[in-house]
Every structure is written in C-alpha cells, then in structure tokens.
Amino acid sequence: MLQMLIISALTALLFLPLQIQWWKTPFFRKWIVPRYIVGILYGLMLFYVGLLDQSVTAIVTYYLPIIGLGLVIDNSLVFSLKRSFRKQAAVIGSGAGMVILIGFGVFWTIQPLFLADAMFDIAGGEEVTVEEFSPVSEEHIPVVPRSFARYRTDVVMGQLDNPAFYSLGETRIQRVNDALFWITPIEYENLFRWYRSNAAPGYIMVSAENPRLEPELVYTDMTYVPSAFFHENLERHVRLSFPDVLMLDTTFEIDSEGNPYYIISYGHYTEFRRVADVDGIITVDPATGEMEQYAKEDAPEWVNRIYPPHIAEERNEWFGIYKQGIVNRFFGREGLTEPTGWGSEDSVTGVVNRELNLSWFTDHTRLTGETGEASGSMVGFTMFDARTGELRYFRDASGMLNGRTAMNLAERTFVRDDYVAGTPSLYNIYGQYTWVVPLMDRNAVLRQIMLVNAASESVTGYGETKREAFAAYQLELANRGGDDDIIPGELLDLEEITGVVERVYKWDREDNVTVRILLEGHDRIFTVNASSYPRAVFVEPGDEVTISFMDGGEEIQPIEELDF
C-alpha cells in the first residue's frame, strides 16, 4: 500500500503545469494544489481501483497523454486570459503537446503492424499428427456442458440459508482426484450483501462426466473473493503484496483434499504492453488470505490451468494469421487460418488427455474472405496446454467437419425437439477424430449426447446417457468398419474368447449386413459387419466361434477378428 501511495504522489507531479506563467500568475497559481490532488486521485483510481500494475510501461502509457494534454490546455488558457503572453510561446507550448498526443496515437495505432513476427514466435505452434493425439477413455470424456452445469448449480444455491445474499462466480472445469468436475465458487451479490455477511459460504461441484451425478454444495468460509470490496477484494489483496506483476487471470480451484484456492496467473508484457506472457501463479487461501508465489514450472500438480483461455485465444489467432508475416496477412493470404467461431461464449474449450491434463482446444478453418462466407470444414485444430503454454497443431484433420458444422448437424438431427447444441469438443475415440456435442433444451437442461465422426457426417451416435451414445456410435463404426479402417478402443488390449453361439441376429441395411451374436454364458452382444468378415453371414446357433475384441465394457461390443 505504501508503494502505491508513493507512486501516486510522485506521478501526480505530472499533473502540475509545465507552463511557467502558471507559477508566476496568482490567478493561475491557485489551481496548482487542486490539480495535484486530482493527480493523486487519478493514480489511486489506476492503481487501487483499477489494479493497474505499477510498472514503467504502465506509467508511460497512462501518463504521457496527460502531459501532452496539459501542455495544449495550459498554453491555450494562458494565451487567452493573459494579454502579455506572446503568441509564439503559446504556439510552441501547444505544439509540443500536440506532438506528444499525435505521436503517441500514431505509435499506438501502427505498432501492431510491426509485431507480426513477434506474435507468431511467441504463439509457437508445432505441427503434429493423430499419433500424438492420445485417446481418452469413455469414462473421463466430459459431456456435461457449462450451461447445464450452471443450471444445476443455480438449483443447488437454493439450499443456502440466505441465497439472495449471494451469486455464482465463474464456472470452470478441473480435475479432482482422477475425475472431472465443474467448480463454481459462491460470491457476494453486491456491496450491501458483502457488508452484511461475514464470509462467502463455499462452492458447488457438478460432475463434468456424469450428468446424473448429484451436485455437491461444499460449505467453507471464504473471505477473500473477487466480489468482495476494499481490503477483502481478492485481486486488490494480491495487488497490495505484488504491485509490479501483471495479473492476467483469476480462477477458482480446489486441491485433492477439497480445500479451495483462488489462482492468479501473473506475467509481464513485451513489445510495450502489446504481447502478454505468463510467468507463474499466485495461490490465495480465500479463508486466511495467505498467498504463495510459484514460477510456472514449479506450480503444484493439482493446479489445472496456468495459461488462461484468453491467452490461448489470441495465440491461436496469431498462429493462424501471421504465419508468413504482416504482408501475407493482408495481401498474399497464403496458408492463413482462423479459429472457428462457435457462436457461444467459448472461443476455446477445455479438453483433457489420457492423464486428464487440461488443454485449450479450438479448430481452425481457412481465413474468411471478403465475402464473409464461413467454411464448413477445418484445415486443422490446435491443443494449447493450459499448464505449459505449448501449442500443437494437428494438420492431418484437414478437410474434416469443423465444430460449427458438427453443432449444426446435431441440431438438425433433433430439429423437432428444438434442442440447442453446446460447445463441441474433439477427441480421439476408437481411433477416430470424433466431435462430442451436448444437446440441451431451451432451459439449458441436457437432453442428448451426440458423437459425430469428423471424417464423415453420416457416422453418428447419440443417446440420453454417455453409455448409450458411445454404444450407438460404436455400432455405427462397426457397420462401416470395412471402409473406414476403424480401430475401436485403441486404449485397450485385445481380448479373445471362444464360445458357442446361442443366438444370431442379421440386420440387412442397404448394402451392408450387420451380424449380432450372443454367446452361451455371456451377457454382452458381439457385433460385426459382413463387409469386414463376409463369412459372418453364415454363423448359426450352435457354432463354436473365436472372437477377438477390444474390451471397453460396452454392452454391444464390436468384433475385431472372427473365426469359426
């Protein structure tokens, strides 16, 4: 706090007149002290209320225009009100102020034109293939969209003693003990509610994997939260202890034992406050206000995100449009891409890998031309690691359906129900690029889960539960397995069983025949497409068969190899 007051007092000197006649003339001199007070208030508004970092670049950015404006106004007033003041001196003084203002404006406007290479370099971007896109087990693929999680969280808020005192904070997805949850902190409604309350009551957990799992309200007093005021405001509490850092993002997470923390991602600007980079995090215990600072490579394992989504968004944009410099951006336009517009609040969406580590995902389409016509396919997609900031570009998905097209397809499938598609995410499911699209009614209640094969829009599966959707999708893949080289369950080991056929069902579907087999002593149904194994149509009850399959635990299990 002391540093903030000292800087505000020193920078307030820049509000004092640089025109010497102000100091000599009693009529003008009486305004010097009020101007200095205004300067102090301006500094407090920037640093205490606005939480601006107290750095040299911040001071130059926010105070240089004040100097220029002061020169113009001071010299103009002195020339207008003091007859003995010479016109030449007024012109020189006002001109100097105009030079400062115009120079600063021109610099701020054209500077980005010279930063294309720097922006592309900091975005990075390593081109990789599907072999490095690890599959995720069905169990841990999140299918609950943020909007449905918010709906269920809002319902649980009614359990509080005084629910009108509080509001919901930001809902974020995170890993908690090898499962994914949407976590929402409870915060104050307004200044009066903050004054009347001793602490915010806790947070609410909603499963991101199982929409039927009941939400959990966790009671724990939290004093330092973003919606608190004055000394209890979370960001202000951090700013007073870390005056120089650039606070990039605030998110709420819990550790493996359920203890709540606010995570402040901090960093610095390069290229004169144009390009932000992340240096680490500051963890804040909302009950005590205790803080710990970590470099990004030393962050605790339970912290899911160090790089905020807005950093991922801008770096995806820079990676797409600055591949060959600023000239190619506006004239050549060779190889340029842009992230797909979802039509929702999420420009990037959180997805997880096999270890449930979070990445920011978005797919890229060709750069929209002057006609503004949107593309229906992607030229690739990116995964931006939320802990390391590594950006990987999967170009081998070029020509496949983009996320916007997958959403449109899902909505058309349920046009009679008037369902709305949530933000889709792309996963490696059964060795295939697959869109997972949640579908909700107009009240944001989750109704269907749809899987759309990115390579072929005709290969889909949906159901009211995740298991139903995956079973339907797996069956559809099996029906087309001969053409698509499907590898169901790439994560799993190949199982082999030998048994006697109890029942057989053969489904003739256009040019394909699907054979379903029920073995004696086994509950699950095995399915195979005749295009892959033509002899399967001759299987009859009583035959002894040997079946090889990837055991994913599904009730309907596609066959990898069949022998009888």
DSSP per residue over 494-545, as a string?
EEEEEEEEEEEEEEEETTEEEEEEEETT--SEEEEETTT-GGGGG--TT-EE
8 A C-beta contact, residue 62 and residue 14: no
Mutual angle of helices 87-110 and 56-81, in 10-degree steps? 150
User: Phi, psi at residue 495, to the nearest 5°?
Assistant: -105, 150
Q: Which helix (H) or strand (E) holds 454?
A: none
pLDDT score recorded for residue 507? 76
Q: ∠ CA 456-453-400 to the nearest 5 degrees?
A: 60
pLDDT score recorded for residue 552? 61
322 DSSP 8-state letter: -
Q: Taking the model in full, what pTM does it have?
A: 0.81
pLDDT score recorded for residue 152? 93
pLDDT score recorded for residue 548? 85
Q: For 499-527, how does the pLDDT look when each residue is reduced to its tens digit (9 = 90+)?
A: 999 999 887 755 567 888 999 988 888 88
Q: What is the mean pLDDT of residues 197-214?
A: 92
Q: How confident is the model at residue 553 (pLDDT cuts 50, 70, 90)?
A: low
DSSP per residue over 22-50, as a string?
HHH-HHHHTTHHHHHHHHHHHHHIIIIIS
Cα distances (Å, whole numbers) of residue 499 to 300, 518, 526, 532:
50, 10, 12, 21
pLDDT higher than 70, residue 171: yes
Distance of alpha carbon 228 from alpha carbon 230, whole angstroms: 7
Of all residues in the chain, what percent carry a pLDDT higher than 70? 92
DSSP per residue over 265-277, as a string?
EEEEEETTTTEEE
Distance of alpha carbon 78 from alpha carbon 74, whole angstroms: 6
pLDDT mean across residues, the chain: 87
Please name the amino acid found at residue 306.
Answer: I
pLDDT score recorded for residue 162? 85
Higher pLDDT, 486 or 160: 160
Please name the amino acid found at residue 59.
Answer: I
pLDDT score recorded for residue 230? 92
pLDDT higher than 80, residue 486: no
Distance of alpha carbon 141 from alpha carbon 427, whole angstroms: 8
8 A C-beta contact, residue 434 and residue 427: yes
145-159, 342-356, 537-551: least confidently modelled range: 342-356
pLDDT higher than 50, residue 482: no
188-202, 365-379, 432-446, 498-512: least confidently modelled range: 365-379
Q: For 79-89, how does the pLDDT look when each residue is reduced to its tens digit (9 = 90+)?
A: 888 776 778 88
Please name the amino acid found at residue 486.
Answer: I
pLDDT score recorded for residue 377? 81
pLDDT score recorded for residue 277? 94
Q: For 399-413, how does the pLDDT look when each residue is reduced to its tens digit (9 = 90+)?
A: 888 888 899 999 999
Helix H, strand E, coil C: the string for 129-154 is CHHHCCCCCHHHCCCCCHHHHHHHHH
Nearest CA to 361 among 322, 321, 403, 407?
403
Q: ∠ CA 550-554-560 to the nearest 5 degrees?
A: 30
Q: For 47-87, how does the pLDDT look when each residue is reduced to its tens digit (9 = 90+)?
A: 999 999 999 999 999 999 999 999 999 888 888 887 767 78
8 A C-beta contact, residue 486 and residue 532: no
